[in-house]
């Protein structure tokens, strides 16, 4: 969280990498191995207080208490889907702002969707997260603690979060340093120990940052929100396309694939009568032909304020069939948590409207 928001200049421990935590302990006159010991409490045991850290001396716990904070987020609201057990969290941050995260239970494991910003500046026409604009970036610790909080709950069932998607509110690549810091901490053996291949970052298409990410040597999965097969429509749906049009975005994606050897996923939210015609499917196939990629078709989650309807399942299947005929590998995303405002930004927005904060 921004320094000025931290109570009396305390350090948020989950903002720190192992090396930074070692420096922190050295600065306190403590041995650096305390860093790994503390990380065991923060990440493997998801402690919420220093009192729980019983293998640290009482004196050290008191020192930590006066200098540092364990929790970056607390649960302000929790909604569980009766259908599929999806859990949507509204998290309270240290400065009173809120953000959302979603736990999705699959047969093959549990995945968690994190937010990277409070609100969002991208202005996509179909998305609820961006309706109130961006308030601020989240810090590394605020991103990671969303996962730790859900992991704490799963630990009671002897389960673990096996994958994390950066697909909640916010544009991860606009909050670049915190996103990369969080990826490294989620992956580190002393952190949550989640393999890079099980970490996915979704971007609205910031071409320059995609090129930068390619150089980080993070074998994660990159997801690019495309949603339209041409600039005219994409600029209408996603204002970011005016800054980074398809002619810049796709070369950055090709470059990413070449440098990392990783396949990119293109997200395409199916909107009734807007981007779902057969001709648009062929245009999309033309753009992506020959790329190491995969298209994920998502039936739009309709947002009341947006007035855009989702395509019928039949239309989605027809669109998929054309892409596959053209040699583009395509999946249709299974819908989860439809009964609990699981679409981006809907829970936070509802909570704000109910508390009279939402309408400006």
Q: Using the minimum distance from each CB to ligand SAH, give the nearer residue, 42 or 99.
A: 99
Q: Which of 38, 167, 210, 323 binds ligand SAH (CB under 6 A)?
A: 167
What letter would DSSP give residue 52? G
Task: Give dist(CA 317, CA 278) in Å, integer.
Answer: 11
Task: Give dist(CA 355, CA 360) in Å, integer.
Answer: 13
Contacts of 172 (CB under 8 A, 6+ apart): 116, 166, 179, 201, 202, 203
Q: Using the minimum distance from each CB to ligand SAH, give the nearer residue, 192 or 303.
A: 303
Q: What are phi and psi of 49, to 5 degrees?
A: -135, 160
Q: And the tokens for 44?
A: 């493997």
Q: Which of 110, 149, 203, 320 binds ligand SAH (CB under 6 A)?
A: 203
Q: Shortest Cβ distance from residue 126 to ligand SAH (Å)?
A: 5
Q: Shortest Cβ distance from residue 224 to ligand SAH (Å)?
A: 7
Active site residues: 100, 344
Options 61-69, 123-131, 156-164, 281-289: segment touching ligand SAH (CB under 6 A): 123-131
Q: Shortest Cβ distance from residue 269 to ligand SAH (Å)?
A: 4
Q: Shortest Cβ distance from residue 79 to ligand SAH (Å)?
A: 17
Options 54-62, 70-78, 198-206, 314-322: segment touching ligand SAH (CB under 6 A): 198-206
Q: Which helix (H) or strand (E) holds 270?
A: strand 264-270
User: In Å, how far are 77, 135, 219, 307 from 303, measured between CA atoms?
Assistant: 20, 21, 33, 7
Contacts of 19 (CB under 8 A, 6+ apart): none
Q: Which of 204, 209, 280, 315 binds ligand SAH (CB under 6 A)?
A: 204
- Taking CB under 6 A as the rule, which mask of x and - marks residues 326-355 in contact with ligand SAH? -----------------xx-----------
Question: Which is nearest to 18 in space by CA: 218, 189, 215, 194?
Answer: 189
Half-sphere exposure of 13 (CA within 13 A, CB side): 27
Task: Give dist(CA 268, CA 252) in Å, integer.
Answer: 18
Q: How many residues bind ligand SAH (CB under 6 A)?
A: 18
Options 83-91, 152-160, 293-301, 314-322: segment touching ligand SAH (CB under 6 A): 293-301
Q: Which of 15, 190, 267, 341 binds ligand SAH (CB under 6 A)?
A: 267
Q: Using the minimum distance from each CB to ligand SAH, give the nearer residue, 71 or 169.
A: 169
Q: Which of 126, 176, 266, 319 binds ligand SAH (CB under 6 A)?
A: 126
Q: Shortest Cβ distance from residue 101 to ligand SAH (Å)?
A: 12
Q: Is 173 left (phi over 0), alpha (psi -120 to 50) or beta?
A: alpha
Q: 18-53 in b/e burial notation, b at 16+ Cβ within 10 A?
A: beebbebbeeeebeeebbebbbebbbeebbeebeeb
Q: Which of 300, 336, 340, 347 binds ligand SAH (CB under 6 A)?
A: 300
What residues form DSSP beta bridges with 117?
137
180 binds ligand SAH (CB under 6 A): no
Q: Using the minimum distance from each CB to ligand SAH, give the nearer residue, 46 or 203.
A: 203
Q: Residue 151, class by beta-carbon neighbours within 10 Å (0-12 exposed, 13-18 middle, 19+ buried)?
A: buried
Site residues for ligand SAH, window 212-231 (CB under 6 A)? 225
What does the binding site for ligand SAH look like in residue numbers (CB under 6 A)? Answer: 122, 124, 126-127, 167, 171, 202-204, 225, 267, 269, 298, 300-301, 303, 343-344
């Amino acid at each position: 969280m921004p320094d000025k928001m931290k109570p009396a200049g305390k350090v948020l421990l989950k903002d720190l990498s192992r090396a930074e935590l070692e420096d922190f302990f050295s600065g306190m006159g403590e041995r650096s191995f305390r860093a790994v010991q503390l990380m065991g409490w923060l990440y493997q045991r998801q402690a919420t207080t220093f009192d729980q850290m019983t293998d640290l001396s009482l004196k050290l716990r008191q020192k930590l208490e006066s200098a540092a904070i364990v929790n970056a987020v607390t649960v302000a609201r929790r909604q569980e889907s009766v259908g599929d057990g999806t859990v949507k969290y509204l998290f309270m941050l240290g400065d009173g702002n809120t953000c959302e995260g979603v736990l999705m239970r699959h047969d093959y494991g549990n995945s968690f969707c994190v937010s990277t910003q409070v609100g969002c500046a991208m202005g996509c026409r179909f998305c609820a997260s961006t309706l109130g604009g961006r308030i601020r970036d989240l810090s590394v610790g605020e991103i990671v603690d969303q996962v730790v909080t859900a992991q704490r709950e799963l630990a009671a069932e002897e389960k673990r979060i096996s994958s994390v998607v950066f697909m909640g509110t916010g544009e991860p690549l606009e909050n670049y340093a915190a996103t990369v810091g969080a990826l490294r901490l989620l992956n580190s053996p002393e952190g949550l120990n989640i393999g890079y291949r099980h970490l996915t970052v979704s971007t609205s298409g910031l071409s320059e940052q995609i090129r930068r990410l390619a150089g980080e040597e993070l074998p994660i999965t990159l997801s690019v929100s495309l949603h339209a097969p041409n600039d005219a429509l994409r600029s209408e749906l996603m204002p970011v396309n005016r800054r980074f049009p398809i002619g810049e975005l796709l070369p950055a994606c090709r470059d990413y694939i070449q440098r990392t050897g990783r396949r990119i996923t293109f997200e395409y939210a199916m909107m009734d009568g807007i981007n779902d015609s057969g001709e648009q499917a062929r245009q999309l196939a033309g753009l992506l032909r020959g790329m190491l990629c995969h298209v994920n078709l998502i039936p739009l989650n309709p947002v009341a304020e947006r007035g855009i309807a989702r395509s019928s399942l039949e239309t989605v299947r027809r669109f998929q069939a054309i892409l596959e005929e053209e040699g583009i590998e395509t999946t249709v995303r299974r819908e989860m948590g439809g009964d609990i405002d699981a679409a981006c930004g809907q829970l936070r927005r509802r909570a704000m409207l109910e508390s009279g904060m939402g309408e400006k």
